[in-house]
C-alpha cells in the first residue's frame, strides 16, 4: 500500500500508490473528512405565532435590502430569534475585507462603497419590527481610514433618533487597532452594550483569524472601550472546536474578565463549507455547563454557553440578565444555552429529551 504524497499544487492527493486510479481532489478529501454533527445538535422549527413572526421578520429584512448576520453567517438560532420578531443587523455591506478561516461571510479586498442611505434604511426597519433590543454588527472595512467607524456611528444614531426606546448593542470590529477611531465612535454613542469578539483562544490566532486580527488587539479594543465608556456593558464571545483545550478556554475567559468584560457567550464552531477551517472537536453539553459555571465564578454578570450559542444569542435577554434579571439559560428556549443553574430544572436532561421531536440542524457557523 503506497503512502499518500503531498502534491506541489495542492489539488490532488494519491491514495493508491503508483497506480493513479486512487487519486482524489483536495475538495473531495476535505468533504469526506468533515465531522458529523453529534446527537445534541438539533433545534426547533417555529410553529403557530412564532412561524408567523419568523415570516414577517424575514419579509421585513428582505424588503428593505438589509443584511443580517442571521442569514449571512447561517446562524442555527435564526428561527428562535426571528420567531420572536427580532434580528441582528449587519451593516457596511455584505462582504468583509478580511478572510478569517472560520467565517461564512464573503471576502473582498476592496468592497463596494458604503451605502449613504443605510442609516435611514436601518432605522426604518428597526422601527417597523418593533424590537426592544437591536444588535448592530459590522463587517471589517480595512479599506477605510477609520475602519468604518463614522458610518457605524451614523447608523446607530439614526436608529436611536427614530426609536429612542430601543436598547442598542454594537458588535464592533477591531477597527484595525485604531483607538482614535474607537474614541470618535463611542463619544456619547447611544448604546448600552459594546461587544467585540475575540473569537478563539490566543494560541490559535494564526490558524483561525485573519493575520490582521489577534487576541491581543481585541483585548486592547475592549479595554479601551471600557476606559472610554465605563457606563457601558462590555461583551465578547469565544468559539470552541478549533483546536483549543478546556483549560485554554478558561484562561481566555479570565483575560477577558480582567479588562472589564461582563457579558460572555461561548459556542461551538461549525464549518461553513469544506473550504473553511475543519472542526477539531465537539465538546459535550456538560463541558459547556462547566464553562458557564467557571464564568459566573469569575464575576461575569451574564453568560450564555452551549453548542448552539452564538455571540448575539438572545442579546436583549442577556443584557437583562447582566442588569439583575433572570439568567437566559433558565428561560424557555431552544436549549442552545447550557448551565448548572437551577438544579430543580435539569437543563441537560431537558435538552436531551427534546431530540426525538426536534429538527436536525444543517446550517453552519456564525461570525457575529
Rounded mean pLDDT for each run of 10 residues along the chain, 368 residues in total: 38 40 55 71 70 79 71 74 75 92 87 96 86 91 97 98 96 97 98 98 96 97 98 98 98 98 96 90 95 98 94 89 92 76 47 38 41
What confidence score (pLDDT) does residue 20 get?
42
Rounded to 5 degrees, what are φ and ψ at 166? Answer: -85, 125
Per-residue cell: 181: 477611531
What confidence score (pLDDT) does residue 41 get?
76
- CB count in 10 Å sphere of residue 190: 13
What confidence score (pLDDT) does residue 301 get?
98
User: What single string gives the DSSP state of each residue in 75-139?
Assistant: -TTHHHHHTTT--EEEES-SEES---TT--SEE-SSPPPP-TTHHHHHHHHHHHHT-SEEEEEE-
Given the C-alpha cell 447550557, which residue does it identify? 338
**pTM of the model as a whole:** 0.81
Of 68, 43, 37, 63, give the one whose Cα is nearest residue 366: 68
Distance from C-alpha of 25 to C-alpha of 39, rounded to nearest angstrom: 30
Q: How many helices (H) and strands (E) does the chain have?
A: 13, 14
Distance from C-alpha of 303 to C-alpha of 267, rounded to nearest angstrom: 11
- Contacts for 198 with CB less than 8 Å, ≥ 6 apart: 215, 218, 219, 236, 237, 238, 252, 256
What confidence score (pLDDT) does residue 241 get?
96
CA 45 to chain centre: 20
Q: Which CATH number fits domain 46-360: 1.10.260.40, 1.10.645.10, 3.40.50.300, 3.20.20.70?
A: 3.20.20.70
| H-only helix segments in the chain | 26-33, 48-63, 69-72, 78-82, 118-129, 149-162, 179-186, 205-208, 215-228, 246-258, 285-298, 315-322, 347-353
DSSP letter for 199, please: B
Amino acid at each position: 500500500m503506497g503512502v499518500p504524497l503531498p502534491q506541489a499544487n495542492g489539488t490532488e492527493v494519491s491514495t493508491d500508490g503508483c497506480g493513479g486510479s486512487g487519486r482524489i481532489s483536495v475538495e473531495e478529501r476535505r468533504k469526506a473528512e468533515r465531522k458529523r454533527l453529534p446527537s445534541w445538535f438539533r433545534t426547533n422549527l417555529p410553529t403557530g405565532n412564532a412561524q408567523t413572526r419568523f415570516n414577517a421578520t424575514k419579509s421585513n429584512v428582505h424588503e428593505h435590502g438589509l443584511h443580517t448576520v442571521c442569514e449571512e453567517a447561517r446562524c442555527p438560532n435564526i428561527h428562535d430569534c426571528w420567531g420572536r420578531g427580532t434580528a441582528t443587523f449587519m451593516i457596511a455591506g455584505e462582504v468583509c475585507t478580511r478572510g478569517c478561516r472560520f467565517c461564512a461571510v464573503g471576502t473582498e479586498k476592496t468592497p463596494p462603497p458604503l451605502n449613504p442611505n443605510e442609516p435611514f434604511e436601518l432605522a426604518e426597519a428597526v422601527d417597523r419590527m418593533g424590537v426592544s433590543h437591536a444588535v448592530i454588527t459590522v463587517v471589517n472595512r480595512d479599506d477605510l481610514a477609520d475602519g468604518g467607524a463614522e458610518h457605524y456611528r451614523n447608523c446607530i444614531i439614526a436608529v436611536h433618533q427614530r426609536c429612542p426606546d430601543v436598547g442598542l448593542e454594537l458588535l464592533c470590529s477591531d477597527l484595525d487597532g485604531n483607538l482614535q477611531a474607537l474614541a470618535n465612535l463611542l463619544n456619547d454613542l447611544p448604546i448600552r452594550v459594546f461587544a467585540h469578539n475575540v473569537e478563539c483562544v490566543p494560541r490559535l490566532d494564526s490558524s483561525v483569524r485573519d493575520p490582521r486580527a489577534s487576541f491581543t488587539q481585541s483585548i486592547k479594543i475592549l479595554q479601551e472601550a471600557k476606559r472610554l465608556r465605563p457606563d457601558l456593558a462590555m461583551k465578547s464571545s469565544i468559539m470552541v472546536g478549533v483546536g483549543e483545550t478546556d483549560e485554554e478556554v478558561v484562561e481566555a475567559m479570565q483575560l477577558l474578565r480582567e479588562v472589564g468584560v461582563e457579558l460572555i457567550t461561548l459556542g461551538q464552531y461549525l464549518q461553513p463549507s469544506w473550504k473553511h477551517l475543519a472542526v477539531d472537536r465537539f465538546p459535550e453539553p456538560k463541558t459547556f455547563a462547566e464553562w458557564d459555571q467557571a464564568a459566573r465564578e469569575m464575576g461575569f454578570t451574564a453568560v450564555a454557553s452551549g453548542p448552539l450559542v452564538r455571540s448575539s444569542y438572545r442579546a436583549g435577554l442577556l443584557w437583562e440578565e447582566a442588569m439583575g434579571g433572570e439568567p437566559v439559560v433558565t428561560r424557555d428556549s431552544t436549549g442552545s444555552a447550557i448551565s448548572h443553574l437551577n438544579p430543580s430544572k435539569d437543563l441537560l436532561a431537558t435538552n436531551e429529551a427534546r431530540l426525538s421531536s426536534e429538527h436536525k440542524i444543517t446550517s453552519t457557523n456564525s461570525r457575529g
